[in-house]
Amino acid sequence: MAEPEPIQDTINVERTPTLGSGNTITPNTQNALAEDDASSPANGGGRASRYFARGGKLRPFRLLKEDVINLKSRYLSDWQIFNQQVVASAVYIFFTNLLPGITFASDLYTLTGKSWGTIEVVFSTGLCGLIFSLAPSFSGQPLTILGVTGPFSVLAENIYELCETHFHVEFLPVMAWSLIHAGWMHYLLAIFNAHDWTMQYVTHFSADIFSLLNSVIYFHKAAMELKRTHARVSLAAFLYAVLGAVGTCLLAILLSTANSWKPMLHRYVRLGLTEYAAAISIIIWIGIPYIGELASLDHIRLEVQTSFRPTNPDRSTFFVRFWEIPIEWVFLSMIPGAIVTVLFYFDHEISSIICTVERYGTKKPGGYAWDVALLGTTTILCGILGIPPANGLLPQAPLHSESLMHYAIESPPAEEGEQPDSPRPVARTYEQRYSHFIQASLILIFVSPPLQKLLGLTQTSVLAGLFLFMGYQSLTVNPILERVVNLLTPPSDLPALPDNVSWFGIHMYTVTQIIMTGIVFGVTLTIAAPAFPLIIIALVPVRLSLMNRVWSRETLRLVDGWACREGKPEDSDSETMQVQGSGDEEKAGEKSALVTGGGSGINLCFVRILLDNGCSVLIADLKLRPEAQQLLKQYPFPGIDGKAGVLFQETDVTSWPQLTAAWEKALKKFTIVDIVVPGAGLFEPQWSSFWEPPRTESNKDSVSRDDTNAEPGHYAVLDVNLVSPIRLSQLAIGHWTKTKQKGCLVHVGSMAGYLAGIATPLYFASKHGLHGFVRALGGLRDELGIRVGCIAPGAVETPLWHEDPTKAVMLDEDTVLLDPQEVAQGMWQLVVNPEYGNGTILEVTKGETRVVPLFNAPVPTGEGIVVPGYEASKDALYAKLKKEGLNV
């Protein structure tokens, strides 16, 4: 039988527990309360000042300062890792970066009037890559690979068309000014910490559409390349071009599956074929037209330079006389500059985030703001040199991390005072700069005339095939494709879905993404094409503000989620209580909590966690233990320099006036109360026990303090454990719903809420009732953004076990009690974990947690469940009842 937490001798607190979700609390999770509740009317005029205050989201240079510190801490170690896998990664990324680059070069050569060709694309890719990998202009995240992207080539082609055809102004000076403007706009984004207040709102809805758009652009470019070939060559050469494009794509796809060819070939051969599939296919299909009768066909090959000079014959140097342009175009070019900024920022941030996702096991800090500033510098430099700018590449950036993955034998981190588990393989990535530096250097070497001639052997049909392969690669990892397959699957063969989710809703969501992709792609084919990145960005507010009116929350939670951080928009607190950041954003000093029973035990541990995360706390309790009194001295309220503080209000929670007074004091001091913890509780002491009925004439020796003549009658255990949490929840929910606020209720339950024990029936009854109350309120999360959860621990180590003689006798040397700090961290998980809060009952045993299902819950297992003496007290009770009966 589960033994809940101990009791206090007076009407006091129950410090009940939960352990977290089993996950380590990361810096991002710890800052989950940092989101500024901008919608709150209570924030009033101080809202703007908080944005620019220390730690505010718009505080200039805040993230840049952090990134510089992080860069100093990692830069030397980035040059201390060099091995065979790093070299192999460099070669692999060299091919996957160079070949798509020259593919875009062929397209740009035709569609920008020879303004940009192979040498410009190769020069830009190599130069920007070197700048991002080397000192002094080193990047914060060397895993991010840079190159000229498909979306930018579409943008550049349309800007050229507008300049040369419609406005009759030179393309390169306008592009130079556009990139100069884009550069300083990047600086502003970095200075004002744009990563904190933009990327956290991007969901997979927009990111998947952007990825699908890339695939469509690749396929379209392949078709256009073949169309141009058809117009310039003989029918035989055109038919071979189609065969060469399809053959290049299909052979690359076939070789990319070589790892699954067991038992054929040695595993290293299969691995090599897989990693170099595209390169091998391209080399083979470049060579085929030089054999036999095919050599006599009029193939179209890549246009290259025989000297180190620009592609355009009218240019002699890599320098644009950007000042020789009508003055109005200096300012008008800010418009395409802003569009380039939106595209580059979105593309580069997504690339940097994806290449450091959890599955790669990266450990070193990145530098989003620093990299955006550095990207602004390289963008300006490319504009002045008259070459296309490079930015973060998909899928090359995550492919870089993939190629550097390895498994290291590590011991999992252990809690303080615990023995670490045995070592096990853990996924890690070689975080270094050599692979980035080597691939960029190799690419830059190809601007030399001899290697340019080597590139000139490439037929454009092979590049069309590479476009097809790139489109295929991008499409196969897009979840839209999987949902399209489901759309074409008979309904009877589809798997079951959660409640309130229908396949019709999912299918309509998928169709909407496809339609939006078609609209954006259609725009790229019109005169409005330069504005297509703005449409992608506009999808972000559309998703957050409109789509939840069409699709159910459950459907959106199933198909969508934040692209750059954990959680989903439909997780009630994800909009107001979770922020992806590096730790110095607006802290939860803007947040506050009310904790009853916070003067000792588990609740006191939880108060410390709240304070450590910048959340001010009002403790409502009968009295404070010395350690709690010390906490008041350590965290005075109001806090110094905006830090969190703690207040105390003497409160008997069974008194509704005193409970209301505590609530009103919290509102007066904090304005907004974001977290409410009805933590006070009793473990059925003798003075309020079912087996000690209230004192009467026939029961004069009873130690009960419950009044026999009370109107209405009541039991203190039920008042503290059930009635008080209900009343406090009522006060909190009333305030939150009236002020349109979101909030979080963390109730203190117990395993007694779904088990049974005769020794303390009132306690079990109160916890059963509390669990039912919490589950009944679970729907508030998705409807109103009010999270409601309850922890259900076993027996917890608190001073009350030793201070109450009736409970102390239950302990022996073999008793295992839960650590209250461990339990308090579970309470924190009920606040920050987006999966919780919908009436969650979170069970805690030693080192483990689980969500207790509503029906057919398995029996609790593990340590910290049973106190041995509880069974002995049950036997003594039965014996007494048999002998004496119950005096009432």
Picking from 38-52, 208-222, 632-646, 749-763, which range would have the lowest pLDDT averaged per residue?
38-52
| Dist. CA 75–CA 138, nearest whole Å | 9
How does residue 38 score in pLDDT terms, banded at 50, 70 and 90?
A: very low
What is the predicted pLDDT for the residue at 816? 63
How does residue 141 score in pLDDT terms, banded at 50, 70 and 90?
A: confident
Instruction: Spell out the alpha helix ranges (H) of 134-203.
Output: 150-161, 171-191, 194-197
How does residue 578 score in pLDDT terms, banded at 50, 70 and 90?
A: very low
What is the predicted pLDDT for the residue at 825? 84
What is the predicted pLDDT for the residue at 245? 94
| Dist. CA 748–CA 127, nearest whole Å | 59
Residue 69 scores a pLDDT above 90: no
The pLDDT tens digits of the residues spanning 281-294 come to 988 999 999 988 88
| Dist. CA 401–CA 93, nearest whole Å | 10
**% residues pLDDT > 90 (the chain):** 22
| Dist. CA 211–CA 326, nearest whole Å | 38
Q: Are the beta carbons of 273 and 254 closer than 8 angstroms?
A: no
Partners of residue 617 on adjacent β-strands:
593, 646
How does residue 140 score in pLDDT terms, banded at 50, 70 and 90?
A: low
| Dist. CA 172–CA 157, nearest whole Å | 12
How does residue 243 score in pLDDT terms, banded at 50, 70 and 90?
A: very high
Structure tokens at 573: 């607190």
How does residue 91 score in pLDDT terms, banded at 50, 70 and 90?
A: confident
The pLDDT tens digits of the residues spanning 517-537 come to 999 999 888 877 767 777 888
| CA-based R_g, the chain, Å | 33
Residue 572 scores a pLDDT above 50: no
The pLDDT tens digits of the residues spanning 825-845 come to 889 889 988 889 999 999 888
Residue 5 scores a pLDDT above 60: no
| Dist. CA 837–CA 815, nearest whole Å | 32
Average pLDDT over residues 623-636: 79
> Residue written as tokens 């009370």?
710
Domains of the chain: 27-34+587-693+715-884 (3.40.50.720), 78-233+300-412+426-476 (no CATH)
| Dist. CA 783–CA 579, nearest whole Å | 21
Q: Are the beta carbons of 837 and 43 closer than 8 angstroms?
A: no
C-alpha separations of 150 from 156, 353, 551 in Å: 10, 19, 32
573 or 321: which carries more pLDDT confidence? 321
How does residue 476 score in pLDDT terms, banded at 50, 70 and 90?
A: confident
